[in-house]
Amino acid sequence: MTDPRDPSRRDFLAASAFSLLGLARGSESPPLGDEAQADGDLFYVGTYTEGGRSEGIYLVRMDRRSGQPRRVGSVDAGANPSFLAIHPNGRVLYAVNELEQYKGRATGAVSAFAIERDTGALTRLNEQPSEGGAPCYLSVDRSAQVVLVANYVGGSIALLPIQPNGALAPAAHVVQHTGKGPNAEHQKAPHAHCVLADPSNRFVLAADLGVDRVFVYRLDLDGKSLRHVEGGDAVMRPGAGPRHLAFHPTLPLVFVANELDSTVATLRFDAERGALSPLDTRSTVPAGWTGTNYPGDIHVAATGRTLYVSNRGHNSIAVFSVAASTGALVLDQVVSTEGDWPRNFSLDPTGRWLLVANQRSDSVVVFGCDPENGRLTPSGQRIEIPRPVCLRFLAPPLPH
């Protein structure tokens, strides 16, 4: 979530609360043309649509050699298709519709789209209620049987089964979080902000910014349900505000971007018991900097040697080296994102480029990424996209 002075969520919720009228308009994107057939990697950009400037979900193709991005299409995906996830088979895209009211109920929605194999064009399959207000994050479990959704305002997580064609069934299970934190401005109630399955696909982790806790659930795919693991949760530092999570690719570690105290926490994950234990905490901003800042997104390079965190306010990417044997973090670099409010970012499938979605300055900016040490270098490449929130490449990362 963002600073309450930032209109990015509060204003669009008010503007969009009346309905999801956009879902009824045009189920298919326009033809993308020859441009979509050119060499390069396709990625999707989720946005906020309030104010009418954004067209919904954008499709962009990036040249692997130069890093140059080029828009090739867009689709009306309903109101505020902010956060995206792609089915492991690459044929379905899921998007939250980040609303507090949907069809007269206190909930947002989740939409499913078929991906055309050759062009990346999107065709609507269906949508379902998220069963909680303002869904802000979703992920697909590793067996591609369910979509997991975090409802920020609702303070809940939901499990929606995936049908054979990729469409979504209604939510089979909803877990309501309870509690609050010491930050009166941001933690008056639970605020689920991230939910994803662990590498074994036996457990689900859910970061709740409002209650300073990372919850652990056992994933029951047969019963399409989540069961809380007693004693498994990580209790974070009071007022930390855990927002997003990232698993290390080989070590039994989970990294947590803490929105409210500008830190990244390292947790050990016992994959046998489904239990988290805190190990370390590091600042995401340079020593001595005292401005207002809210970390947004977090990712680990496929090599496992580098961790990245975006800073909204400081407007930077923090680059940490990750020790090979212990996972210990060292802040190596802090790079300006050349824009305002870097809400989300993504590494391209080759690991050679890192793209940042600067929400307030309407830009996606491309950085070169050193394959050895992970350090970032401005490429001079960017594309203008209104209110970008989330970036998702269609192709999976290449093996290293």
171 and 111 Cβ atoms separated by less than 8 Å:
no
The per-residue pLDDT for range 120-174, each reduced to its tens digit, is: 999 999 999 999 999 999 999 999 999 999 999 999 999 999 999 999 999 999 9
264 - beta bridge partners?
A: 257, 282
List CB contacts of 218: < 8 A, sequence separation 6 or more.
202, 203, 204, 226, 227, 228, 229, 274
DSSP 119: T
Closest CA to 314 of 336, 329, 332: 336
Pair of tokens at residue 168: 């979504």
Cα-Cα-Cα-Cα torsion 74, 78, 82, 84, nearest 10 degrees, comes to: -70
Q: How far is it, in rounded angstroms, from Cα 357 to Cα 340?
A: 9
Q: Which of 325, 281, 315, 320 is nearest to 300 (CA)?
A: 320
Give, in order, the Cα–Cα distances in Å from 280 to each of 163, 190, 205, 265, 267. Answer: 41, 24, 18, 6, 7
Q: How far apart are the first and last CA of the chain?
A: 34
Q: Are strands 41-47 and 388-393 parallel, antiparallel or unpaired?
A: antiparallel
The mean predicted confidence, pLDDT, of the chain is 91
CB atoms within 10 A of CB 201: 13
Q: Tell me which residues of the chain have a pLDDT lower than 70.
A: 1-39, 396-400
CA gap 393, 48 in Å, rounded: 19
Helices (H) and strands (E) in the chain, counts: 1, 29
pLDDT in tens, 191-241: 999 999 999 999 999 999 999 999 999 999 999 999 999 999 999 999 999
What is the C-alpha separation between 118 and 83, in angstroms, rounded?
A: 23
Q: How many residues does the chain have?
A: 400
Structure tokens at 316: 């930077």
pLDDT of residue 51: 87
pLDDT, position 30: 40
CA distance 94 to 85: 5
The pLDDT value given to residue 274: 98
Q: Are 81 and 116 in contact (CB under 8 A)?
A: no
pLDDT for res 397: 62
DSSP string, 46-64: EE--GGG---SEEEEEE-T
What pLDDT, on a 0 to 100 scale, did the predictor assign at position 395?
A: 80
Residue with tokens 């980040």: 98
Q: Dig out the tokens for 243 from the structure.
A: 């927002």
